[in-house]
A and B are shown apart, each in its own frame.
Chain A
Amino acid sequence: MHGLIFRTLEAFVSDVFGPDHWTRAVAQADLPVTSFEAMLQYDAGYFPTLLEACVTVLDRPGSVILEDLGAYLIIHQNHASVRRLMRFGGDTFAELLQSLGDLPDRTRLAVSGLDLPSILVQETIPQSFTIQCADNPIGFGHIMVGLLRAMADDYGTLALLDHRGLRNGAEIIEVQVIETDFADDRGFSLSVAHGAHHQ
Protein backbone atom coordinates (compact mmCIF):
# COMPACT_ATOMS: atom_id res chain seq x y z
CA MET A 1 0.00 0.00 0.00
CA HIS A 2 1.30 3.44 -0.91
CA GLY A 3 3.16 5.31 1.83
CA LEU A 4 1.15 8.48 1.11
CA ILE A 5 -1.88 6.83 2.70
CA PHE A 6 0.01 5.91 5.88
CA ARG A 7 1.81 9.22 5.92
CA THR A 8 -1.55 11.03 5.73
CA LEU A 9 -2.92 9.08 8.71
CA GLU A 10 0.26 9.83 10.67
CA ALA A 11 0.17 13.55 9.79
CA PHE A 12 -3.54 13.75 10.65
CA VAL A 13 -3.20 12.13 14.09
CA SER A 14 -0.01 14.10 14.90
CA ASP A 15 -1.30 17.49 13.69
CA VAL A 16 -4.81 17.24 15.13
CA PHE A 17 -4.32 15.24 18.36
CA GLY A 18 -0.56 15.64 18.96
CA PRO A 19 2.52 13.52 18.27
CA ASP A 20 2.13 11.65 21.59
CA HIS A 21 -1.19 10.21 20.39
CA TRP A 22 0.49 8.94 17.24
CA THR A 23 3.31 7.40 19.30
CA ARG A 24 0.72 5.62 21.45
CA ALA A 25 -1.27 4.43 18.42
CA VAL A 26 1.84 2.98 16.78
CA ALA A 27 2.87 1.28 20.03
CA GLN A 28 -0.65 -0.13 20.37
CA ALA A 29 -0.60 -1.42 16.78
CA ASP A 30 2.73 -3.16 17.51
CA LEU A 31 4.04 -2.75 13.94
CA PRO A 32 7.71 -2.91 12.96
CA VAL A 33 7.43 0.68 11.66
CA THR A 34 6.96 3.76 13.86
CA SER A 35 6.95 6.50 11.25
CA PHE A 36 5.89 6.33 7.61
CA GLU A 37 7.50 7.81 4.52
CA ALA A 38 5.25 9.17 1.78
CA MET A 39 7.39 7.74 -0.99
CA LEU A 40 7.79 4.13 0.16
CA GLN A 41 5.44 1.15 -0.09
CA TYR A 42 4.17 -0.64 3.02
CA ASP A 43 2.27 -3.84 3.77
CA ALA A 44 -1.44 -3.16 3.17
CA GLY A 45 -2.25 -5.18 6.31
CA TYR A 46 -0.80 -2.39 8.47
CA PHE A 47 -3.68 -0.04 7.65
CA PRO A 48 -6.58 -1.78 9.43
CA THR A 49 -4.27 -2.56 12.38
CA LEU A 50 -3.26 1.09 12.67
CA LEU A 51 -6.83 2.31 12.30
CA GLU A 52 -7.96 -0.10 15.04
CA ALA A 53 -5.20 1.27 17.30
CA CYS A 54 -6.31 4.85 16.53
CA VAL A 55 -9.89 3.92 17.51
CA THR A 56 -8.61 2.87 20.96
CA VAL A 57 -6.16 5.74 21.46
CA LEU A 58 -8.43 8.51 20.13
CA ASP A 59 -11.53 6.90 21.68
CA ARG A 60 -13.86 7.37 18.71
CA PRO A 61 -15.26 5.19 15.91
CA GLY A 62 -13.12 4.45 12.85
CA SER A 63 -15.72 6.02 10.54
CA VAL A 64 -15.43 9.35 12.43
CA ILE A 65 -11.61 9.23 12.31
CA LEU A 66 -11.67 8.62 8.55
CA GLU A 67 -14.22 11.40 7.90
CA ASP A 68 -12.14 13.86 9.91
CA LEU A 69 -9.07 12.73 8.02
CA GLY A 70 -10.81 13.50 4.70
CA ALA A 71 -11.76 16.98 5.87
CA TYR A 72 -8.25 17.54 7.29
CA LEU A 73 -6.74 16.85 3.85
CA ILE A 74 -8.72 19.74 2.36
CA ILE A 75 -8.56 22.22 5.22
CA HIS A 76 -5.04 21.88 6.62
CA GLN A 77 -2.41 24.26 5.26
CA ASN A 78 0.17 21.47 4.92
CA HIS A 79 -2.00 19.84 2.26
CA ALA A 80 -3.04 22.91 0.26
CA SER A 81 -2.06 21.02 -2.89
CA VAL A 82 -4.81 18.41 -2.29
CA ARG A 83 -7.48 21.11 -2.24
CA ARG A 84 -6.05 22.60 -5.44
CA LEU A 85 -5.96 19.24 -7.17
CA MET A 86 -9.59 18.62 -6.20
CA ARG A 87 -10.58 22.03 -7.59
CA PHE A 88 -9.27 20.93 -10.97
CA GLY A 89 -12.37 18.69 -11.00
CA GLY A 90 -14.74 21.51 -11.91
CA ASP A 91 -16.03 25.04 -11.47
CA THR A 92 -18.92 24.00 -9.24
CA PHE A 93 -19.35 21.41 -6.52
CA ALA A 94 -21.72 19.45 -8.77
CA GLU A 95 -19.08 19.38 -11.53
CA LEU A 96 -16.55 18.18 -8.99
CA LEU A 97 -18.88 15.32 -8.03
CA GLN A 98 -19.30 14.39 -11.70
CA SER A 99 -15.52 14.36 -12.17
CA LEU A 100 -14.86 11.98 -9.26
CA GLY A 101 -15.02 9.03 -11.64
CA ASP A 102 -11.78 10.31 -13.21
CA LEU A 103 -10.05 10.67 -9.84
CA PRO A 104 -8.46 7.20 -9.61
CA ASP A 105 -7.07 7.52 -13.17
CA ARG A 106 -5.76 11.03 -12.56
CA THR A 107 -4.19 9.95 -9.28
CA ARG A 108 -2.53 6.94 -10.87
CA LEU A 109 -1.08 9.13 -13.64
CA ALA A 110 0.36 11.53 -11.08
CA VAL A 111 1.67 9.00 -8.55
CA SER A 112 2.05 5.54 -10.01
CA GLY A 113 1.39 2.93 -7.37
CA LEU A 114 -1.21 5.05 -5.56
CA ASP A 115 -4.33 3.07 -6.47
CA LEU A 116 -7.64 4.50 -5.28
CA PRO A 117 -10.81 2.39 -5.38
CA SER A 118 -12.92 2.85 -8.50
CA ILE A 119 -15.63 5.49 -8.09
CA LEU A 120 -18.99 5.60 -9.87
CA VAL A 121 -21.12 8.76 -9.72
CA GLN A 122 -24.77 9.02 -10.79
CA GLU A 123 -27.03 12.06 -10.66
CA THR A 124 -30.21 10.19 -9.73
CA ILE A 125 -32.44 13.26 -9.75
CA PRO A 126 -31.20 16.82 -10.37
CA GLN A 127 -28.82 17.91 -7.56
CA SER A 128 -28.97 14.44 -5.97
CA PHE A 129 -25.98 12.19 -6.43
CA THR A 130 -25.12 8.63 -5.53
CA ILE A 131 -21.43 7.79 -5.29
CA GLN A 132 -20.27 4.18 -5.17
CA CYS A 133 -16.73 3.41 -4.04
CA ALA A 134 -15.38 -0.10 -4.53
CA ASP A 135 -14.86 -1.76 -1.17
CA ASN A 136 -11.08 -1.88 -1.05
CA PRO A 137 -9.78 -0.48 1.19
CA ILE A 138 -12.91 -0.55 3.36
CA GLY A 139 -13.54 2.85 4.87
CA PHE A 140 -12.39 4.83 1.85
CA GLY A 141 -16.01 6.01 1.51
CA HIS A 142 -15.80 7.69 4.93
CA ILE A 143 -12.68 9.59 3.86
CA MET A 144 -14.60 10.70 0.74
CA VAL A 145 -17.52 11.95 2.85
CA GLY A 146 -15.24 14.15 4.99
CA LEU A 147 -13.28 15.32 1.98
CA LEU A 148 -16.39 16.19 -0.07
CA ARG A 149 -18.03 17.94 2.87
CA ALA A 150 -14.95 20.18 3.14
CA MET A 151 -14.95 20.71 -0.63
CA ALA A 152 -18.63 21.76 -0.56
CA ASP A 153 -17.64 24.41 2.02
CA ASP A 154 -14.76 25.40 -0.24
CA TYR A 155 -17.17 26.06 -3.12
CA GLY A 156 -19.57 27.87 -0.76
CA THR A 157 -22.16 25.20 -1.51
CA LEU A 158 -24.63 23.80 1.05
CA ALA A 159 -24.80 20.03 0.58
CA LEU A 160 -25.95 17.08 2.67
CA LEU A 161 -23.67 14.05 2.61
CA ASP A 162 -24.49 10.67 4.03
CA HIS A 163 -22.58 7.39 4.11
CA ARG A 164 -25.21 4.70 3.50
CA GLY A 165 -23.03 1.68 4.24
CA LEU A 166 -22.23 -1.22 1.94
CA ARG A 167 -24.41 -2.27 -0.97
CA ASN A 168 -23.34 -5.04 -3.39
CA GLY A 169 -19.76 -4.79 -2.18
CA ALA A 170 -19.55 -1.04 -2.65
CA GLU A 171 -19.66 1.81 -0.17
CA ILE A 172 -22.58 4.13 -0.99
CA ILE A 173 -22.50 7.88 -0.42
CA GLU A 174 -25.55 10.04 -1.04
CA VAL A 175 -25.11 13.74 -1.75
CA GLN A 176 -27.84 16.36 -1.98
CA VAL A 177 -26.87 19.81 -3.21
CA ILE A 178 -29.22 22.23 -1.41
CA GLU A 179 -27.86 25.64 -2.34
CA THR A 180 -24.92 26.56 -4.55
CA ASP A 181 -24.46 30.16 -3.38
CA PHE A 182 -24.77 29.45 0.31
CA ALA A 183 -21.45 31.09 1.29
CA ASP A 184 -18.40 32.64 -0.35
CA ASP A 185 -16.45 30.47 -2.75
CA ARG A 186 -12.82 30.30 -1.54
CA GLY A 187 -11.89 30.64 -5.20
CA PHE A 188 -9.52 28.81 -7.48
CA SER A 189 -7.15 29.91 -10.17
CA LEU A 190 -5.32 27.51 -12.47
CA SER A 191 -2.19 29.51 -11.81
CA VAL A 192 -0.47 28.50 -8.57
CA ALA A 193 0.59 32.09 -7.89
CA HIS A 194 -3.00 33.33 -8.23
CA GLY A 195 -4.38 30.39 -6.29
CA ALA A 196 -2.02 31.12 -3.41
CA HIS A 197 -3.95 34.30 -2.58
CA HIS A 198 -6.90 32.21 -1.56
CA GLN A 199 -5.04 29.82 0.71
Chain B
Amino acid sequence: MIAAPALLRAIRPLHVCIGPTGHIRQVGKSFSKLGINDPSGCRFLEVFEILRPARPSSMSDLRRLTGEVLRLRLRQEPEIGFRGLVIDDEAQGLILDLSFGIAVVDAVQRFGLTAQDFAPGDLVMELLFLQEAKSSAIAASFSLNARLNGARLAAETDAMTDGLTGLHNRRALDAALARLGQSNTEYAILHMDLDRFKQVNDTLGHGIGDSVLKRVALILRSHTRQDDLLIRAGGDEFVIVCPGLTDHLRLTELAIRLISDISEPAQIDGQDVTIGASIGIAVSAATARCDPVTHLSRADVALYAAKRLGRGQYRFWSTDMGECLASLDLEDAQPKAM
Protein backbone atom coordinates (compact mmCIF):
# COMPACT_ATOMS: atom_id res chain seq x y z
CA MET B 1 0.00 0.00 0.00
CA ILE B 2 1.29 3.43 -0.96
CA ALA B 3 2.38 5.64 1.97
CA ALA B 4 0.03 8.51 2.84
CA PRO B 5 2.40 11.41 1.92
CA ALA B 6 3.11 9.86 -1.49
CA LEU B 7 -0.59 9.19 -2.02
CA LEU B 8 -1.43 12.82 -1.24
CA ARG B 9 1.25 14.02 -3.66
CA ALA B 10 -0.19 11.80 -6.38
CA ILE B 11 -3.86 12.74 -6.06
CA ARG B 12 -4.18 16.08 -4.24
CA PRO B 13 -2.27 18.90 -5.96
CA LEU B 14 -3.41 21.43 -3.32
CA HIS B 15 -2.82 19.71 0.05
CA VAL B 16 -0.76 20.83 3.04
CA CYS B 17 0.75 18.50 5.70
CA ILE B 18 1.46 20.18 9.03
CA GLY B 19 3.72 18.73 11.70
CA PRO B 20 2.98 18.67 15.49
CA THR B 21 4.71 22.05 15.96
CA GLY B 22 2.54 23.80 13.38
CA HIS B 23 5.22 23.85 10.67
CA ILE B 24 4.55 22.78 7.09
CA ARG B 25 6.01 19.39 6.14
CA GLN B 26 4.86 19.00 2.58
CA VAL B 27 2.58 20.75 0.05
CA GLY B 28 0.95 19.64 -3.20
CA LYS B 29 2.67 20.30 -6.51
CA SER B 30 0.38 23.11 -7.66
CA PHE B 31 1.49 25.58 -4.97
CA SER B 32 4.66 26.26 -6.93
CA LYS B 33 2.39 27.67 -9.68
CA LEU B 34 0.95 30.10 -7.16
CA GLY B 35 4.35 31.65 -6.58
CA ILE B 36 4.94 29.73 -3.35
CA ASN B 37 8.43 28.27 -3.34
CA ASP B 38 8.48 25.15 -1.21
CA PRO B 39 7.17 26.45 2.13
CA SER B 40 8.30 23.32 4.05
CA GLY B 41 9.56 24.31 7.45
CA CYS B 42 7.53 27.56 7.58
CA ARG B 43 4.82 28.02 10.20
CA PHE B 44 1.52 27.17 8.54
CA LEU B 45 -0.26 30.18 10.06
CA GLU B 46 2.41 32.52 8.72
CA VAL B 47 1.85 31.29 5.16
CA PHE B 48 -1.92 30.97 5.32
CA GLU B 49 -4.56 33.11 6.98
CA ILE B 50 -7.69 31.29 8.11
CA LEU B 51 -10.81 33.47 7.79
CA ARG B 52 -13.63 31.21 8.89
CA PRO B 53 -15.12 29.65 10.92
CA ALA B 54 -12.53 30.90 13.47
CA ARG B 55 -9.13 32.59 13.30
CA PRO B 56 -6.76 30.19 15.05
CA SER B 57 -3.47 31.60 16.33
CA SER B 58 -1.82 28.38 17.42
CA MET B 59 -1.53 24.73 16.43
CA SER B 60 -3.91 23.75 19.24
CA ASP B 61 -6.51 26.25 17.95
CA LEU B 62 -6.10 24.78 14.50
CA ARG B 63 -6.46 21.24 15.81
CA ARG B 64 -9.86 22.17 17.27
CA LEU B 65 -11.05 22.81 13.69
CA THR B 66 -10.52 19.14 12.75
CA GLY B 67 -13.37 17.92 10.58
CA GLU B 68 -14.48 21.46 9.72
CA VAL B 69 -14.49 23.13 6.34
CA LEU B 70 -12.34 26.27 6.43
CA ARG B 71 -12.17 29.40 4.33
CA LEU B 72 -8.59 30.57 4.03
CA ARG B 73 -6.16 32.45 1.82
CA LEU B 74 -2.45 32.74 1.17
CA ARG B 75 -1.08 35.81 2.95
CA GLN B 76 0.98 36.46 -0.15
CA GLU B 77 -2.04 36.26 -2.56
CA PRO B 78 -4.99 37.54 -0.54
CA GLU B 79 -7.35 37.79 -3.55
CA ILE B 80 -7.46 34.07 -4.18
CA GLY B 81 -9.58 32.21 -1.64
CA PHE B 82 -9.42 28.51 -0.80
CA ARG B 83 -11.67 26.20 1.05
CA GLY B 84 -10.28 23.20 2.81
CA LEU B 85 -10.96 20.35 5.18
CA VAL B 86 -8.84 19.80 8.31
CA ILE B 87 -7.92 16.14 8.86
CA ASP B 88 -6.06 14.70 11.89
CA ASP B 89 -3.10 12.65 10.59
CA GLU B 90 -3.11 10.62 13.84
CA ALA B 91 0.57 11.43 14.37
CA GLN B 92 0.05 14.76 16.18
CA GLY B 93 -0.01 16.56 12.86
CA LEU B 94 -2.79 17.79 10.56
CA ILE B 95 -3.57 17.52 6.86
CA LEU B 96 -5.40 20.28 5.00
CA ASP B 97 -7.03 19.31 1.74
CA LEU B 98 -7.61 22.52 -0.23
CA SER B 99 -9.43 23.55 -3.36
CA PHE B 100 -10.16 26.90 -5.01
CA GLY B 101 -13.93 26.73 -4.92
CA ILE B 102 -15.49 29.35 -7.14
CA ALA B 103 -12.26 31.40 -7.07
CA VAL B 104 -10.84 28.88 -9.52
CA VAL B 105 -11.79 31.03 -12.51
CA ASP B 106 -9.75 33.94 -11.13
CA ALA B 107 -6.91 31.62 -10.08
CA VAL B 108 -6.63 30.19 -13.60
CA GLN B 109 -6.39 33.71 -15.03
CA ARG B 110 -3.97 34.93 -12.39
CA PHE B 111 -1.53 32.00 -12.40
CA GLY B 112 -1.96 30.49 -15.85
CA LEU B 113 -2.95 27.12 -14.40
CA THR B 114 -3.34 24.10 -16.68
CA ALA B 115 -5.34 20.89 -16.52
CA GLN B 116 -2.36 19.21 -14.83
CA ASP B 117 -2.65 21.55 -11.84
CA PHE B 118 -5.95 20.01 -10.84
CA ALA B 119 -6.85 16.59 -9.51
CA PRO B 120 -8.00 14.29 -12.33
CA GLY B 121 -11.42 13.89 -10.74
CA ASP B 122 -11.83 17.64 -10.29
CA LEU B 123 -14.71 19.14 -12.26
CA VAL B 124 -12.73 22.32 -12.79
CA MET B 125 -12.30 21.73 -16.54
CA GLU B 126 -16.05 21.37 -16.92
CA LEU B 127 -16.53 24.52 -14.85
CA LEU B 128 -14.13 26.53 -17.02
CA PHE B 129 -15.63 25.12 -20.20
CA LEU B 130 -19.08 26.11 -19.01
CA GLN B 131 -17.92 29.53 -17.94
CA GLU B 132 -16.54 30.27 -21.41
CA ALA B 133 -19.44 28.72 -23.27
CA LYS B 134 -21.94 30.61 -21.12
CA SER B 135 -20.11 33.89 -21.69
CA SER B 136 -20.32 33.37 -25.46
CA ALA B 137 -23.99 32.39 -25.29
CA ILE B 138 -24.89 35.35 -23.09
CA ALA B 139 -22.98 37.72 -25.37
CA ALA B 140 -25.08 36.41 -28.28
CA SER B 141 -28.24 36.88 -26.20
CA PHE B 142 -27.29 40.44 -25.29
CA SER B 143 -26.65 41.29 -28.90
CA LEU B 144 -30.06 39.86 -29.87
CA ASN B 145 -31.74 41.84 -27.08
CA ALA B 146 -29.99 45.04 -28.14
CA ARG B 147 -31.16 44.60 -31.74
CA LEU B 148 -34.72 43.73 -30.68
CA ASN B 149 -34.79 46.75 -28.39
CA GLY B 150 -33.56 49.01 -31.20
CA ALA B 151 -36.29 47.65 -33.45
CA ARG B 152 -38.89 48.14 -30.69
CA LEU B 153 -37.89 51.76 -30.13
CA ALA B 154 -37.99 52.43 -33.87
CA ALA B 155 -41.43 50.80 -34.11
CA GLU B 156 -42.67 52.82 -31.14
CA THR B 157 -41.43 56.05 -32.71
CA ASP B 158 -43.04 55.08 -36.03
CA ALA B 159 -46.29 54.28 -34.25
CA MET B 160 -46.31 57.77 -32.69
CA THR B 161 -45.31 59.68 -35.83
CA ASP B 162 -47.29 61.05 -38.74
CA GLY B 163 -45.50 59.69 -41.79
CA LEU B 164 -46.14 62.71 -44.03
CA THR B 165 -45.18 65.65 -41.81
CA GLY B 166 -42.97 63.94 -39.21
CA LEU B 167 -45.16 65.51 -36.51
CA HIS B 168 -46.67 63.33 -33.81
CA ASN B 169 -49.93 61.53 -34.49
CA ARG B 170 -53.21 60.97 -32.68
CA ARG B 171 -51.74 58.08 -30.67
CA ALA B 172 -48.99 60.34 -29.34
CA LEU B 173 -51.63 62.94 -28.46
CA ASP B 174 -53.62 60.40 -26.42
CA ALA B 175 -50.43 59.35 -24.59
CA ALA B 176 -49.51 63.00 -23.88
CA LEU B 177 -53.02 63.77 -22.59
CA ALA B 178 -52.84 60.74 -20.31
CA ARG B 179 -49.48 61.97 -18.94
CA LEU B 180 -50.85 65.48 -18.36
CA GLY B 181 -53.81 63.96 -16.52
CA GLN B 182 -51.35 62.38 -14.06
CA SER B 183 -49.35 65.56 -13.42
CA ASN B 184 -50.01 68.97 -11.94
CA THR B 185 -48.59 70.82 -14.94
CA GLU B 186 -50.80 73.58 -16.31
CA TYR B 187 -50.98 73.70 -20.10
CA ALA B 188 -52.72 75.05 -23.15
CA ILE B 189 -54.18 73.12 -26.08
CA LEU B 190 -54.42 74.80 -29.46
CA HIS B 191 -56.68 73.12 -31.99
CA MET B 192 -56.07 74.37 -35.51
CA ASP B 193 -57.54 73.54 -38.87
CA LEU B 194 -56.71 74.88 -42.28
CA ASP B 195 -59.06 77.01 -44.38
CA ARG B 196 -59.43 76.27 -48.12
CA PHE B 197 -57.23 73.19 -47.84
CA LYS B 198 -59.92 70.99 -49.38
CA GLN B 199 -60.07 73.25 -52.46
CA VAL B 200 -56.28 73.06 -52.86
CA ASN B 201 -56.40 69.29 -52.65
CA ASP B 202 -59.34 69.05 -55.08
CA THR B 203 -58.08 71.54 -57.67
CA LEU B 204 -54.28 71.23 -57.52
CA GLY B 205 -54.01 67.57 -56.57
CA HIS B 206 -52.88 65.57 -53.54
CA GLY B 207 -49.20 66.13 -54.29
CA ILE B 208 -49.58 69.87 -53.75
CA GLY B 209 -51.87 69.17 -50.78
CA ASP B 210 -49.15 67.08 -49.15
CA SER B 211 -46.57 69.81 -49.73
CA VAL B 212 -48.92 72.34 -48.12
CA LEU B 213 -49.22 70.14 -45.03
CA LYS B 214 -45.41 69.82 -44.83
CA ARG B 215 -45.07 73.60 -45.07
CA VAL B 216 -47.60 74.03 -42.23
CA ALA B 217 -45.61 71.53 -40.12
CA LEU B 218 -42.48 73.64 -40.73
CA ILE B 219 -44.28 76.80 -39.61
CA LEU B 220 -45.56 75.04 -36.47
CA ARG B 221 -42.03 73.92 -35.62
CA SER B 222 -40.55 77.38 -36.10
CA HIS B 223 -43.02 79.07 -33.74
CA THR B 224 -43.16 76.56 -30.91
CA ARG B 225 -40.86 75.57 -28.08
CA GLN B 226 -38.90 72.33 -27.69
CA ASP B 227 -41.36 71.02 -25.08
CA ASP B 228 -44.50 71.71 -27.11
CA LEU B 229 -46.12 68.66 -28.64
CA LEU B 230 -47.08 69.11 -32.30
CA ILE B 231 -49.70 66.73 -33.61
CA ARG B 232 -51.29 66.19 -36.96
CA ALA B 233 -54.59 64.86 -35.70
CA GLY B 234 -55.84 63.91 -39.16
CA GLY B 235 -56.53 65.52 -42.56
CA ASP B 236 -55.87 69.25 -42.19
CA GLU B 237 -56.33 69.25 -38.41
CA PHE B 238 -53.46 70.05 -36.04
CA VAL B 239 -53.18 70.12 -32.24
CA ILE B 240 -50.47 71.87 -30.25
CA VAL B 241 -50.06 71.01 -26.58
CA CYS B 242 -48.01 73.58 -24.66
CA PRO B 243 -47.06 72.40 -21.17
CA GLY B 244 -46.44 75.23 -18.71
CA LEU B 245 -47.77 77.90 -21.08
CA THR B 246 -51.03 79.49 -19.85
CA ASP B 247 -50.37 83.18 -20.42
CA HIS B 248 -53.16 84.57 -22.63
CA LEU B 249 -50.96 87.25 -24.13
CA ARG B 250 -48.30 84.80 -25.26
CA LEU B 251 -50.88 82.33 -26.53
CA THR B 252 -52.60 85.15 -28.43
CA GLU B 253 -49.27 86.10 -30.00
CA LEU B 254 -48.62 82.47 -30.95
CA ALA B 255 -52.05 82.09 -32.56
CA ILE B 256 -51.72 85.37 -34.50
CA ARG B 257 -48.24 84.45 -35.79
CA LEU B 258 -49.32 80.97 -36.87
CA ILE B 259 -52.40 82.25 -38.67
CA SER B 260 -50.45 85.03 -40.36
CA ASP B 261 -47.55 82.83 -41.52
CA ILE B 262 -49.83 80.06 -42.76
CA SER B 263 -52.04 82.59 -44.60
CA GLU B 264 -49.02 84.04 -46.42
CA PRO B 265 -49.41 83.18 -50.15
CA ALA B 266 -46.82 80.55 -51.10
CA GLN B 267 -45.30 79.08 -54.26
CA ILE B 268 -45.57 75.32 -54.02
CA ASP B 269 -44.25 73.17 -56.88
CA GLY B 270 -44.73 76.12 -59.24
CA GLN B 271 -48.30 76.82 -58.08
CA ASP B 272 -49.54 79.84 -56.16
CA VAL B 273 -51.27 78.50 -53.10
CA THR B 274 -53.12 80.52 -50.48
CA ILE B 275 -54.70 78.87 -47.49
CA GLY B 276 -55.61 80.06 -44.04
CA ALA B 277 -55.99 78.71 -40.52
CA SER B 278 -58.42 78.94 -37.61
CA ILE B 279 -57.48 78.20 -34.02
CA GLY B 280 -59.37 77.33 -30.83
CA ILE B 281 -57.50 77.53 -27.55
CA ALA B 282 -58.25 75.96 -24.16
CA VAL B 283 -56.12 76.80 -21.12
CA SER B 284 -56.12 74.43 -18.17
CA ALA B 285 -55.49 77.08 -15.52
CA ALA B 286 -58.55 79.07 -16.59
CA THR B 287 -61.04 76.79 -14.85
CA ALA B 288 -61.32 74.25 -12.10
CA ARG B 289 -59.15 71.18 -12.86
CA CYS B 290 -60.66 68.80 -15.30
CA ASP B 291 -59.26 65.99 -17.38
CA PRO B 292 -57.18 66.75 -20.48
CA VAL B 293 -59.68 65.12 -22.80
CA THR B 294 -62.25 67.70 -21.71
CA HIS B 295 -59.71 70.45 -22.46
CA LEU B 296 -59.15 69.01 -25.89
CA SER B 297 -62.87 69.09 -26.65
CA ARG B 298 -63.04 72.67 -25.29
CA ALA B 299 -60.29 73.67 -27.73
CA ASP B 300 -62.44 71.99 -30.40
CA VAL B 301 -65.50 74.02 -29.31
CA ALA B 302 -63.40 77.22 -29.38
CA LEU B 303 -62.14 76.32 -32.88
CA TYR B 304 -65.68 76.06 -34.21
CA ALA B 305 -66.56 79.32 -32.52
CA ALA B 306 -63.54 80.91 -34.26
CA LYS B 307 -64.54 79.46 -37.63
CA ARG B 308 -67.99 80.94 -37.34
CA LEU B 309 -66.35 84.35 -37.11
CA GLY B 310 -64.92 83.82 -40.57
CA ARG B 311 -61.53 82.70 -41.81
CA GLY B 312 -58.24 83.36 -40.04
CA GLN B 313 -59.72 83.82 -36.56
CA TYR B 314 -58.82 82.40 -33.15
CA ARG B 315 -60.83 82.11 -29.92
CA PHE B 316 -60.14 81.11 -26.34
CA TRP B 317 -62.65 78.74 -24.83
CA SER B 318 -64.95 80.35 -22.29
CA THR B 319 -67.72 78.88 -20.15
CA ASP B 320 -70.44 80.52 -22.24
CA MET B 321 -69.39 78.34 -25.22
CA GLY B 322 -70.42 75.20 -23.32
CA GLU B 323 -68.69 71.84 -23.24
CA CYS B 324 -69.58 70.38 -26.59
CA LEU B 325 -70.30 71.41 -30.13
CA ALA B 326 -74.02 70.54 -29.84
CA SER B 327 -74.54 72.95 -26.94
CA LEU B 328 -72.76 75.79 -28.71
CA ASP B 329 -75.23 78.64 -28.93
CA LEU B 330 -74.64 80.18 -32.31
CA GLU B 331 -76.41 83.44 -31.52
CA ASP B 332 -74.44 84.08 -28.32
CA ALA B 333 -71.02 83.77 -29.90
CA GLN B 334 -69.53 87.23 -29.60
CA PRO B 335 -67.38 88.15 -32.58
CA LYS B 336 -63.84 88.94 -31.59
CA ALA B 337 -61.71 90.94 -33.94
CA MET B 338 -58.26 89.64 -34.77
Contact = CB atoms under 8 A, between A and B. Distances in A.
Nearest to B144: A39
A84 B112 contact: no
Given A37-B144, A84-B132, A193-B109, A110 B114 contact: no
Contacts of A109: 126, 130, 133
Interface stretch (B135-143, B164-172, B255-263): B135-143
Contact residues of B: prevailing secondary structure: helix
B112 A88 contact: no
Contacts of A37: 144
Query: Interface size bucket, A side?
Result: 20 to 34
Interface string A99-142: 00000001101110000000000000000000000000000000
B112 A81 contact: no
A191 interface: yes
Contact of A110 (B109, B110, B125, B134): B134
B121 to A, nearest CB: 15
A106 B128 CA distance: 11
Contacts, number: 56
A39 B133 contact: no
A56 interface: no
A178 interface: no
Nearest to B148: A37
B115 interface: yes
Interface residues of B, number: 21
B101 to A, nearest CB: 16
Contacts of B144: 37-40
Contacts of A111: 133, 137
Contact of B136 (A81, A88, A106, A189): A81
A112 B188 CA distance: 56
Interface in B73-119: 108-110, 112-115
Interface string A183-199: 00000011111100000
A31 B133 CA distance: 30
A56 B262 CA distance: 61
A179 interface: no
A88 B129 contact: yes
Nearest to A107: B133
B170 to A, nearest CB: 32
Nearest to B128: A190
Given A38-B140, A39-B144, A106-B126, A85 B133 contact: yes
A91 interface: yes
7 contacts: A38-B140, A81-B132, A85-B133, A88-B132, A111-B133, A190-B115, A191-B110
Interface of B: 108-110, 112-115, 125-126, 128-130, 132-137, 140-141, 144
Given A81-B135, A191-B110, A191-B113, 4 more contacts: A81-B133, A85-B133, A190-B114, A193-B109
